[in-house]
Homo-oligomer: A and B are copies of this chain.
Amino acid sequence: MEKITLSHGGGGTLMHRLIDSLIVKEFDNAILRRKKDSAIFEIGKTPVAFTTDSYVVNPIFFPGGDIGSLAVYGTVNDLCVCGARPLYISLGLIIEEGLDGAILDRIVKSAASAARRAGIRIVTGDTKVVEKGSCDKIFVNTSGIGEIYYDKLEIDSIKPGDAVIISGTIGEHAISVLSAREGIEFSTKVKSDSAPLDRLIRKALLGRGAVKFMRDPTRGGVATTLNEIVSLRRFGISLDEAVIPVSDGVRQACELLGFDPLYLACEGRAIFVTGKKYADIVLGAIRKDAGGKKAAIIGEVTNDYRGKVCLSTISGGKRMVDMLSGEQLPRIC
């Protein structure tokens, strides 16, 4: 490894390589090796999920959210997709000297309001201030603890025939941040999908054991998350482009800027893998949630394309969808 590049934080192949070659190797332990969105362990007899994320999004305010609410929802969602009920969250602030107090005020209020909406309590925190020029306005770390209530998530139980469901339209978060950062206006305004997934996921799980796997497609987007699922496994995933929900605004932005929506970060969507016979029931349950109206079955686990994700395009072709390599959009979260 020579110099650290933006791609090392992009959620794609370089980041995975860095994590595997350095972080997991040095800190090696059974919990870390599982590489879930949260660490899972027991306290007393209670199974618990524990996760952390730092937020460096630029700009700190964007249509549909800001760094304060994003930091709360992002960590809440990492707990939710592990089948946990989010309980407690920490908030660590690194602030650039000279930041306007009113801006800090807005961010803290937004985080507080997000915590109330997500039903989680911010119970501990830390504030550091660095000299002007030593950080970019404000960085936020949140770490969260949740209690596992659904313990049937097991990537090894996924098998050919299973359905892949997305809970809503993809890519709004990335496009909203990009448009705010670059000052680009699209004819259809795009708002970030940043939102807590707790209620939607509870509906999807329904206590039935139908859902085998969940993950929120953040950095690297749906393409990267699906590649994480199939990586080194004896199955592939076949995606149907025609049914992948993409809003008009995101579609326009992608056409204009040459992005592929499959690689764009979402911050309020979840991917579910369920047994085939449960797919419609789970889909129906998700659609009952206000955040799940556009949910769709977008693909199937297959015997073909082992370890890979294959997209059947609208034009009738097929192409392999790799994990994000390099960095499409830095500082998206």
Contacts and interface: CB of A to CB of B under 8 A. Distances in A.
Interface string A266-303: 00000000000000000000000000000000000000
A91 interface: yes
A91 B24 CA distance: 12
A127 B94 contact: no
Contact of A147 (B43, B98, B330): B43
Among A104, A129, A136, residue most surrounded by chain B Cβ atoms (within 10 Å)? A129
A41 interface: yes
A257 interface: no
Nearest to A19: B127
Given A6-B131, A97-B4, A101-B3, A50 B88 contact: yes
A44 interface: yes
A88 B145 CA distance: 11
A221 B139 CA distance: 26
Interface stretch (A25-33, A149-157, A167-175, A308-316): A25-33
A127 B18 contact: yes
A124 interface: yes
Interface residues of A, number: 80
Nearest to A133: B133
Interface string A71-110: 0000000000000000110111111111111101100110
Contacts of A45: 44
A38 interface: yes
Given A1-B101, A53-B126, A109 B31 contact: no
A123 B39 CA distance: 6
28 contacts: A1-B104, A3-B100, A4-B101, A5-B97, A7-B129, A19-B125, A23-B125, A26-B108, A27-B91, A27-B108, A31-B121, A32-B122, A32-B123, A32-B124, A41-B88, A43-B44, A43-B87, A50-B88, A51-B124, A52-B90, A52-B126, A54-B93, A56-B128, A56-B134, A58-B130, A130-B136, A135-B135, A141-B141
Query: Which of A45, A128, A331 counts the most B-chain CB atoms under 10 A from its CB?
Result: A128
Contacts of A23: 91, 108, 125, 127
A115 interface: yes
Contacts of A87: 43
Interface of A: 1-10, 15, 18-19, 22-23, 26-27, 29, 31-32, 38-39, 41, 43-46, 48, 50-56, 58, 87-88, 90-102, 104-105, 108-109, 111-112, 115, 121-131, 133-136, 139, 141, 143, 145, 147, 330-331
